[in-house]
Amino acid sequence: MTESERRRRRRPAVSCSVCRKRKIRCNRESPCNNCLRSKNAVCVYEEYPPPVPRRQPNHNEDHDPSHSVQVQHSPISLEGVSASIGGTSTVSCSGPPLASSTNASTPASKPSDDDVGLMKTRIRDLERQLSQATGNTNNASAQNAPASVANAGRGLLEASQDRIENGLFGAPRMFGRTVLHKSRQFGQSHWINGVSVFLDLLDLLEPHIRNGHTAIPAAIQKCKSLAKIIKSGRTPPWPTPLSADLPPKDVADQLVERYHRIIEPFYRVLHIPTFIKHYESVWMSNNHLEAAFMVQLKLVLAIGSTTYDEQFSLRAPAIRWIYEAQTWLCTPNSKTRLNIQSLQINILLLLAQEIVDVCGDLTWISAGTLYRRAVYMGLHRDPAGLPRRTTFATEMRRRLWNTILEITLRSSMNSGGPPCISLDDFNTKPPSNFDDDQLEAHSPSPRPEGTFTQVSTAIALRKSFPQRLAVVKFLNDLDCHGRYEDMLRLDRELRASYKAMYRTLQDFRMCTGRSPSQHDFLFTDLVMNRYLSSLHIPFFERAMHETAYAFSRKVLLETSLKIWYSAYQPSSADPGQIRNDNPSSSVDDLARLGICGTVCFQTGPFQAACLISAELRAQLQEQEGLSFTPPRPDLLPVVNNAVNWCLQSIKIGETNMKGYLFLSMVSAQIDGLMRGVKKDDFPKLLIRAVEGAIETSLSILEAKVAQSQSQIEETGKGFDQPSLLPSLESTDGYDFMTPDGLFDFGELSTLEWMLDDEYYLPEAPNW
């Protein structure tokens, strides 16, 4: 044997593929001992053609082609398919080691018909068992045997293994949905996903609007143009320099008090005694006003103005105060702004933008900048591991970091974007149980855990942060196709943390002394139920048709009712108005934030109203029998109150009428189902509802425009950029059917029109 022949020599593999890859000894059984110990799902013996024996050179024998050796291929054996539907799937396919020794002197026989028939039977059994494991009723039969039975068996094995690795066996996965609108993408926690169940309703109405039988497109375009005029009248010129203008002191006192009541218990930003000391000095005569504190004060006033009265009469000043703060933060030399006070201003600015709705839907982008600013300043490291600081400095850093985590997570939840944070990215501890006045002492000691302080509610919320972060990651991460069993596990963990937090707040109420307010309970209920509801929304559409998801349907109805009644406080006199028995009561704060504030306080109740409406509609459509069964008595009032709630929001200054329009359509369909309207008559019913909602909205918006123009004539001050004002003369065309239009949805759906409501901003100067 020559050297080249020795190097080319290969022996057939007799070990399974896993043992060969790991280079360990295999006992050549099926399955082998190593695969049994490692609980490997598949133990495969690869098939190699046996080597051709080399003929010894025989000079006495002439070369004859008929003497070439024929090789018999041994087919691979596939046995034992098993799958467990409820959990981890296991499929074992094994084959015995190949008997690769062939006798060169014995002519190889061709595969017999019995062998081929046996292989066909085995493949049919394997296909049948795989079909039973996956729930597929279409049992394939091998009608035509492939040319190579062994290759067909290996191909089927590889296909099954690929299905196992992709997780197609076992528990169902949620349907990942993202909404693409212009240059933005909204993940599964965005409120628009709770409205997607009404696509059939919009698809039913769309053909009648596209055919041009109504004036709805032009009317909606006119509403949008009026809304831009109203917004432009509220928008100050950019940049807006910081001014010394403040409301009267009695008004400012109320705004500051309301801010401390609705924000500070949950998002600790300010040290209240220090802030009050500087606030009182502002009203002293001949006192120099520090620019940074003036910015801080105006943001506090802007947040407090949302609950000052039912009409949000301070909306325009609040927008101007936000613009002044934004201008101050955007000035050059940002290195000097890397301090605690500037960080507080940045946090207050994000909160004010969300509540007052000045580009509040883009807070997630700004929250990422805020998070990185805090990390750059070292707030993600606990002060205990840094150079020694005072208790005041230590606790303020912990409080601010805790607030930044909450803002980052909430903005991710509202926008549908990934949180981009992890529990491994920081080690800062939660705030200690100090009252603010304790931090002014030299070496204070925290109060006992069972004593309620000004930071107790924030500490209770922080304990549920890991579970809420896991929910947002489950919904909005790149691979958003989680299993239903994973969702159920997150549901259990979130409910456990919710119950623990509720018991903590209840224990505070049982103790003597100070206790949580009703606003604290309502706000924490709203927060926790929003996460719980969003966790089940991806399975809501399936829950309407499949009993396997009935638990999600039940949870969504319960949490939606809790969210709605946390933010909506009905009055016995008028169900469409918020309760106002005591204007200074904290019970009304959350209700006023739902009417006057936006983004973080309106989207949750609006989504809850849509889900309740969907459940009520499904119950009416699922009725069977000759007699009509009335729906649940607690669902129909929510639908009617939600329509009035959206209308009330427009009356006090909201310019987006699409929520009111949409809920009017849903309410009309539910009313038609209850009255037994024929299916062919529903389009006319919906068109009448849409036309009525548009007519009502137009009258309100036109009155707002006339009011703003009269104020301009009285004061002699107006918006000094008339070229940016939209014209109503362009509403006669059919520009409504652009991608910004009402029902032009592209590939996803017909709900994109509800997202098209950007805040009107003039073009910034080119610095």
Annotate 729-749 with DSSP letters as a single string.
GGGSSSGGGSTTSSS--TTT-
Highest-pLDDT range among 100-104, 178-182, 287-291, 553-557: 553-557
Average pLDDT over residues 747-763: 41
pLDDT of residue 439: 95
Average pLDDT over residues 452-475: 96
HSE-CB of 663 using CA atoms within 13 angstroms: 25
Q: How far is CA 505 from the centre of its chain?
A: 27
Distance between CA 75 and CA 45 in Å, rounded? Answer: 11
Q: Is 197 helix (H, G, I), strand (E, B) or coil?
A: helix
pLDDT of residue 23: 80
Closest C-alpha to 397, from 465, 457, 453, 344 = 344
Residue with more model confidence, 287 or 647 = 647
Average pLDDT over residues 682-702: 93
pLDDT of residue 37: 79
Residue 320: inside a domain: no
Q: Which residue has the tokens 């030399």?
A: 333
Residue 224: inside a domain: yes
DSSP 348-369: HHHHHHHHHTSSGGGHHHHHHH
Beta bridge partners of 722: none
Asked if 472 and 409 count as a contact pair (C-beta separation under 8 A), the reply is: yes
Residue 606: inside a domain: yes
pLDDT of 435-461, one tens digit each?
A: 999 999 988 999 999 899 999 999 999
Asked if 49 and 133 count as a contact pair (C-beta separation under 8 A), the reply is: no
pLDDT of 251-262, one tens digit each?
A: 999 999 999 999
Q: Which residue has the tokens 């406080």?
A: 569
Distance between CA 196 and CA 544 in Å, rounded? Answer: 13
For the record, the structure tokens of 399 come out as 């409080």
Domain endpoint, select from 695, 711, 727: 711
pLDDT of residue 708: 79
- Overall domain count for the chain: 2
Average pLDDT, the chain: 76
Residue 143: inside a domain: no
Q: Which of left, alpha, beta for 527 (phi over 0: left; psi -120 to 50: alpha)?
A: alpha
Those residues whose C-beta lies under 8 Å from the C-beta of residue 669, and which sit 6 or more positions away, are 201, 617, 682, 685, 686
Asked if 534 and 413 count as a contact pair (C-beta separation under 8 A), the reply is: yes
Parent domain of 704: 189-233+538-571+585-711
Distance between CA 611 and CA 564 in Å, rounded? Answer: 10
Angle at 252 between CA 455 and CA 406, to 5 degrees: 30
Distance between CA 237 and CA 360 in Å, rounded? Answer: 19
Share of the chain above pLDDT 70, in %: 69
Closest C-alpha to 8, from 63, 55, 51, 56 = 51
For the record, the structure tokens of 641 come out as 């109150």
Distance between CA 559 and CA 277 in Å, rounded? Answer: 42
Closest C-alpha to 301, from 281, 315, 318, 319 = 318
Highest-pLDDT range among 148-152, 251-255, 474-478, 577-581: 251-255
134 pLDDT band, cuts 50/70/90, is low
48 pLDDT band, cuts 50/70/90, is low
Residue 354: inside a domain: no
pLDDT over 70 at 766, yes or no: no
Distance between CA 685 and CA 672 in Å, rounded? Answer: 8
Asked if 657 and 651 count as a contact pair (C-beta separation under 8 A), the reply is: no
Residue 317: inside a domain: no
pLDDT over 60 at 8, yes or no: no
Strand spans (E) along 52-162: none
Average pLDDT over residues 49-76: 43
423 pLDDT band, cuts 50/70/90, is very high
Helices 484-510 and 456-463: crossing angle in degrees, nearest 10, is 160
Distance between CA 314 and CA 303 in Å, rounded? Answer: 10
* C-alpha distance from residue 657 to each of 99, 104, 618, 642, 664 (Å): 78, 87, 26, 13, 11
Residue with more model confidence, 351 or 127 = 351
Residue 615: inside a domain: yes
Residue 83: inside a domain: no
Highest-pLDDT range among 219-223, 383-387, 497-501, 513-517: 497-501
Distance between CA 83 and CA 169 in Å, rounded? Answer: 8
Asked if 47 and 157 count as a contact pair (C-beta separation under 8 A), the reply is: no
Beta strands at 184-186 and 179-181: parallel, antiparallel or unpaired: antiparallel
Distance between CA 621 and CA 629 in Å, rounded? Answer: 11
Residue with more model confidence, 474 or 51 = 474
pLDDT of 611-663, one tens digit each?
A: 999 999 998 888 765 556 777 888 999 999 999 999 999 999 899 898 999 99
